[in-house]
Chain A
Amino acid sequence: QVQLVQSGSELKKPGASVKVSCKASGYTFTSYAMNWVRQAPGQGLEWMGWINTNTGNPTYAQGFTGRFVFSLDTSVSTAYLQISSLKAEDTAVYYCARDGGSSFPVWGKGTTVTVSS
């Protein structure tokens, strides 16, 4: 079945970096774009941007430029989100979500990133 499996929770200190993975299975990875969505504690959903899984070209939403990088390894059907120079306000659950053309029909279970000294 179609699924996205994300890497486990991370606890990082301010200023460190983190790389979250999202491994796809059950479909052709390069046939659908991949989105990233952030959910801060107790808050709503915030779209971070997406990556074209054919070309590797990323598009970042405002507020997610500079420290946030989307990347791919198509050989293992995996998308990555890297966040550098972590701040306390980056503490959140990060979801990958497969594009469906008009919505996000498939979501990973989320990766909790906690930034604390």
Chain B
Amino acid sequence: EIVLTQSPGTLSLSPGERATLSCRASQSVSSSYLAWYQQKPGQAPRLLIYGASSRATGIPDRFSGSGSGTDFTLTISRLEPEDFAVYYCQQYGSSPDTFGQGTRLEIK
């Protein structure tokens, strides 16, 4: 099983700042099968990024994904108030599918 480790656990930033979230895999992950989700309290996860760097439909271009192999990054270029949430990475290429433990992005 591929273990995904997200860092930091909590990130405290202000609106307008840049956020950089990391997802490290215990084994190499095909870039085609690395996704990022956003989850707000009481809501279902929402797909942001698939294939490591492709934005899902309707996702603003301030969200970008990068990386390959075992190291992946989600970047939010300028934080908006609605971006404060929990973010999860997911690998889909090797069964079982696995999620990272999440990064909580909170308002500083």
* Number of A positions contacting B (CB below 8 A): 21
* B35 and A47 within 8 A (CB): no
From B44, B47, B57, B90, contact of A95 by CB (8 A): B44
**Binary interface encoding of chain A residues 23-65 relative to chain B, with 1 for a CB under 8 A from any of its CBs, else 0:** 0000000000001010000001111010000000001011000
**Binary interface encoding of chain B residues 42-68 relative to chain A, with 1 for a CB under 8 A from any of its CBs, else 0:** 011111001100001100000000000
The residue of chain A having its C-beta at the shortest distance from the C-beta of B51 within the complex is A102
* Number of B positions contacting A (CB below 8 A): 26
In the bound complex, CA of A53 to CA of B2 (Å): 26
Q: B43-97: which have CB < 8 Å to A?
A: 43-47, 50-51, 56-57, 88, 90, 92, 95-97
A-B contact sample (8 more), CB < 8 A, given A49-B96, A103-B90: A46-B99, A47-B98, A95-B45, A100-B47, A105-B47, A105-B56, A109-B43, A109-B44
Could you tell me which A residues sit within 8 Å of B by CB distance?
35, 37, 44-47, 49, 59, 61-62, 95, 97, 100, 102-105, 107-110
